[in-house]
């Protein structure tokens, strides 16, 4: 609850106060141009840094590695780009800091420390951990367990109806009527 109060009441009030103070010093039009300029610069940085992070992420995947740093950078870039969309100087400074690679490392370090210190944020990778997490979170299983025996209440492949099977043939005769190709455009 206090985070929502800070996010939706305190931050906008501080932003408004700072904008009014800047407006009295440099004028209303210059304040407007400042907000517009940081938005344009931020969107350009978000696009460039987002594409660079996307390329690095794909490179790590192609090497068979888990792209933890790249995923965290992508999340930081996304949040900081959203901060730049909100009018205000404080959010613009935080947003720009998260989009610059040198200062983004500080954000990454803080988030890493938060994730490792709090067990609620821990994530494990691998098929076994995903399967075990799924098994532990559901009370009714669908499909066989790792030993290959079906769970109670699941049907065998012979009991499945033919209507549930996907259409694998490419001929138009095997498609349902609503999927028939139409003539024209």
- Per-residue pLDDT tens, the chain, 185 aa: give them: 688 888 889 999 999 999 999 999 999 999 999 988 988 888 898 899 999 999 999 999 999 998 888 999 999 999 999 898 888 899 999 999 999 999 999 999 998 888 888 877 666 555 544 444 444 444 444 555 555 555 554 444 444 444 444 444 444 444 455 555 555 55
Q: Is residue 129 part of a domain?
A: no
Q: Is residue 79 part of a domain?
A: yes
What is the per-residue pLDDT for 181? Answer: 55
Beta carbons within 8 Å of 60's beta carbon, 6+ residues apart: 66, 67, 70
Shortest CA distance to 114 belongs to which of 127, 123, 103, 124?
A: 123
Between CA 115 and CA 76 the distance in angstroms is 14
Q: Is residue 163 part of a domain?
A: no
pTM above 0.95, yes or no: no
Structural element, H or E, at residue 115: helix 101-117
Beta carbons within 8 Å of 111's beta carbon, 6+ residues apart: 72, 76
CB 113 within 8 A of CB 74: no
Q: Is residue 181 part of a domain?
A: no
Q: Which neighbouring-strand residues pair with 144?
A: 150
What is the per-residue pLDDT for 106? Answer: 93
Domain hosting residue 48, numbered range:
14-121
What is the per-residue pLDDT for 169? Answer: 45
Q: Is residue 71 part of a domain?
A: yes
What is the per-residue pLDDT for 5? Answer: 86
Q: Is residue 130 part of a domain?
A: no
Q: Is residue 159 part of a domain?
A: no
Q: Residue 141 gets which letter from DSSP?
A: -
What is the per-residue pLDDT for 2? Answer: 84
Using CA atoms, how far residue 25 sits from 3, 30, 35, 139, in Å, is 32, 10, 15, 63
For residue 114 the two structure tokens come to 């938060």
Q: Is residue 4 part of a domain?
A: no
Between CA 123 and CA 32 the distance in angstroms is 43
Long-range pairs, 1-9, Cβ under 8 A, ≥24:
none
Split into its structural domains, the chain has a count of 1
Within a 10 A sphere around the Cβ of 150, how many other Cβ atoms?
Answer: 14
């Amino acid at each position: 609850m206090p985070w929502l109060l800070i996010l939706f009441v305190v931050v906008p009030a501080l932003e408004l106060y700072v904008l009014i103070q800047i407006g009295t010093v440099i004028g209303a039009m210059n304040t407007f141009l400042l907000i517009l300029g940081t938005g344009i610069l931020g969107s350009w940085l978000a696009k460039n840094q987002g594409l660079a992070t996307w390329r690095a992420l794909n490179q790590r995947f192609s090497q068979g590695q888990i792209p933890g740093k790249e995923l965290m950078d992508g999340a930081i870039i996304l949040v900081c780009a959203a901060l730049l969309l909100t009018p205000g100087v404080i959010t613009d400074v935080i947003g720009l800091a998260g989009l610059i690679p040198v200062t983004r490392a500080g954000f990454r370090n803080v988030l890493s420390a938060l994730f490792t210190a709090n067990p609620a944020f821990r994530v494990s990778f691998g098929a076994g951990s995903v399967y075990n997490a799924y098994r532990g979170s559901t009370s009714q299983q669908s499909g066989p367990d790792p030993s290959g025996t079906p769970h109670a209440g699941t049907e065998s492949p012979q009991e499945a109806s033919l209507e549930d099977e996907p259409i694998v043939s490419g001929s138009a005769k095997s498609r349902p009527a609503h999927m028939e190709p139409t003539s024209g455009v």
